């Protein structure tokens, strides 16, 4: 049994995209798994360590961080758009270009930066803990941040380009808006009057999942040279996020509105 497990693990490592094997956090699942376990330990231990301490004032750090993430997300939007446009990508069916051509490598690098950004975004959770905003450490928050790392690693490891570019493009665009909101909110209560559009940010997040789900559903049934296994994973994952974000939207906006009336 152990030999079979070793054989399966070796097969998973060897069947990836040879272009991205040597890139940071790509070849083996061990490093990202260690990051994930460390993340869970921080979530478990962090609130206990902060229980008898005052919240940490992170205002300058959060302002810089959030606007840096706006710039990073905007860069990825540009790279995904430029690479797909210059390579004449099809929005309906786009196989992965596994060649070493400049455009194929540019798209692969854009996918890697998207993956790496999901590791950086774990800092969001650390900010919550240090500021004692434990109510924001919801299942949705932890689930989304944790699973995106593994999904994006699989994308870079096996399908760095092709249909997967649309996920990175749309999500990066949403994150430009999202981190802009967080960056403005970090200035304090004086900005609240300009942040009336939080509800629409959640709607935008839901919209991206619906778009990706529809796109993936089409590719599951279309004759396209793109792995059905990846489409199936994306489809199931998007359904889970639609359910969780819809529940969050209902509890945050609709349910409260019903109670006040």
Active site residue 145: no
Q: Any idea what the Cα angle at residue 149 is, between residues 201 and 95, rounded to 5°?
A: 90
Token pair 């905007």 in the structure block, residue: 74
Cβ neighbours for 67, distance < 8 A, ≥ 6 positions apart: 179, 180, 183
Query: How high is the pLDDT of residue 27?
Result: 86
Query: How high is the pLDDT of residue 2?
Result: 72
- Dihedral angle sign, alpha carbons of residues 252, 253, 255, 260: positive
Cα distances (angstroms) measured from residue 193 to each of 66, 185, 196, 198: 19, 10, 6, 11
Token pair 């960056």 in the structure block, residue: 183
* Helix ranges restricted to H, the chain: 2-14, 30-50, 59-86, 102-120, 123-130, 139-158, 165-185, 198-221, 228-249, 255-260
pLDDT along the chain (261 residues), means of 10: 66 79 91 97 97 95 98 98 96 93 97 98 97 94 96 94 95 98 94 91 96 94 89 95 96 73 54
The predicted model scores a pTM of: 0.93
Distance CA 217, CA 234 (A): 9
Cα distances (angstroms) measured from residue 232 to each of 63, 77, 112, 219, 222: 38, 25, 21, 10, 13
Of the residues 144, 145, 175, 215, which is catalytic?
Answer: 144
């Amino acid at each position: 049994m152990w030999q079979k497990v070793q054989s399966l693990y070796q097969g998973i490592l060897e069947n990836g995209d040879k272009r991205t094997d040597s890139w940071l956090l790509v070849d083996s699942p061990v490093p990202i798994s260690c990051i994930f376990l460390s993340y869970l330990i921080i979530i478990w231990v962090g609130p206990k360590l902060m229980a008898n301490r005052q919240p940490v004032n992170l205002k300058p750090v959060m302002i810089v961080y959030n606007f840096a993430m706006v710039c990073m997300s905007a860069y990825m939007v540009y790279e995904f758009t430029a690479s797909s446009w210059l390579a004449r990508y099809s929005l309906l069916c786009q196989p992965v270009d596994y060649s070493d051509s400049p455009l194929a490598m540019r798209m692969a690098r854009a996918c890697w930066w998207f993956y790496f950004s999901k590791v950086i975004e774990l800092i969001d959770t650390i900010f919550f803990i240090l500021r004692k905003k434990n109510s924001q450490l919801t299942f949705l928050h932890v689930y989304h941040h944790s699973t995106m790392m593994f999904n994006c690693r699989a994308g870079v490891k096996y399908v760095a380009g092709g249909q997967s570019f649309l996920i990175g493009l749309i999500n990066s665009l949403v994150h430009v808006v999202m981190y802009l909101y967080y960056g403005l909110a970090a200035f304090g209560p004086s900005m609240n009057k300009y942040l009336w559009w939080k509800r629409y940010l959640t709607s935008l997040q839901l919209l991206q999942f619906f778009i990706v789900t529809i796109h993936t559903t089409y590719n599951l049934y279309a004759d396209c040279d793109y792995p059905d296994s990846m489409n199936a994973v994306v489809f199931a994952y998007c359904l889970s996020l639609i359910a969780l974000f819809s529940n969050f939207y209902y509890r945050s906006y609709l349910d409260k509105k019903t109670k006040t009336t």
